[in-house]
Structure 1
């Protein structure tokens, strides 16, 4: 064979081999791109991700595999048919679920039963409960020379009303209201049923006057006439029982408190002016729609709770809360009676929702 023919033959086979290698490389590249890589993230720090199992370098918590939402469409759990999970049109007409997956705007977070167990999700029903609100208030036995002087001036003005203008008496009465007395209390103190000197010398006739400070957040709960229990370290085994008589009308701007005026039974006249102690007020709140306080997430802009809409579905809802009665919180709107809300691992399920839906997970 001539050298030229041999060289041509080698060139021919080298070209064929080059084409074959290029085809194999392209096939490998396509296969590598089409294969899905598992992604693992930290439930406490969802911004940290890894392509393999392990622990979070920030908190040493085990990484959790990020699930593809499409994989759940064929996953049946807790006796839910695959047609319901997939959201078939036939089941959409008969399903009693609050939200159907055929709704394009649905923000249901789908979590398998195994995933719920792995992150420790627990739920509880929103229901009406008979609750007791307890208010503990820093208190002291009354020593109030300012109110004593105002009452004495008013009593004297009433006795001399024929010589004074009605305007003067009205101004003196207004001053008493500013100091916290109701119209009924003014009438009691000036009728002779109460001696104003009790406010500077101590209780008489088996009673003592107690001043208590409550925060403005408890103002709607505390009412005139509610029972009160006063205790002092001077008599640690003794409890003085009484009732709230009046509530100041002006808020203390420095510590955001209001003053309660109460009368307690003290037949032995043990309590002395300016003796310190604590008052306990218990308020019964019947049939309050409530959930555990752990069910509420405060984002700063709104409060949200995660409602379980199906055994494997959860949805973030905006809620409005009322009174906080540990360990419960009153629900004013957002969650209906009988709905089940997430009470444990609320932060973790919120992190999962943010990973899947982004900031839109709270747009409800």
Structure 2
């Protein structure tokens, strides 16, 4: 019995559209329509009086998606359902290529440490030399290597930890002073054609405490790993706030420029599967559904090829409720037209 009652309420628009009496609908569920005041059976809100006159159309109705019509909303109603608008503008868009990355050592720092080790080994070999000049030359080499390590950010304790035959510890592989580190990202074969030297990179990780570290693409390997179908992309980053731990994993986002396009927020687009459209704010509470052609999506925005012009205002929130209202208006307009014929 309850289901039957709901069905009657939902079918009411078809039953009363041919009549000239005033109609009432739910502000939150526009599909609920009645020919008399009452409450919405879904949410309990009071039904409000629907405007009798059709919405004024300021553009060709051929631009409207199928089964939709323009709607009028009072300022109070807009505030109630949370309508927000934004200007359409041309801007530079970027696609994201995501890949796992690994923190590697700083090649310059690594080379400096290897040179210091070699100088220490030579010093050990010439300690018993009878030629003071040979010992002095090697001693100067050791001191010169030490100075270079200090310049690159190593402390005296870290330098003292480097022995002639020891393996360089991971804690010494990234310069703490300069913050310079290298990331090796494993990028899938299908995305490599989009990766170019100099592109911007964004790094995130759980241990970075919500911070994002910027970086730059330096080079891309020419050889594809046959097992993973990926290639290494070498990225240079500089982080002075949060030190990067060698051999730790990070999430890499490479920003691939797509040029300048007319852009709209992705949340503004209503996608029915057959059509994509937005609601254009025409002023004085009038909102028109407008079909658009989307070229591609980039991050949280979409590039629009047709249907909009720069400077127009579109709805970016409450689109679901706006869509329901527009569908209701479309049904009523269609039934009214058929009744006139």
TM-score by length of 2: 0.50
Larger Rg: 1 or 2? 1
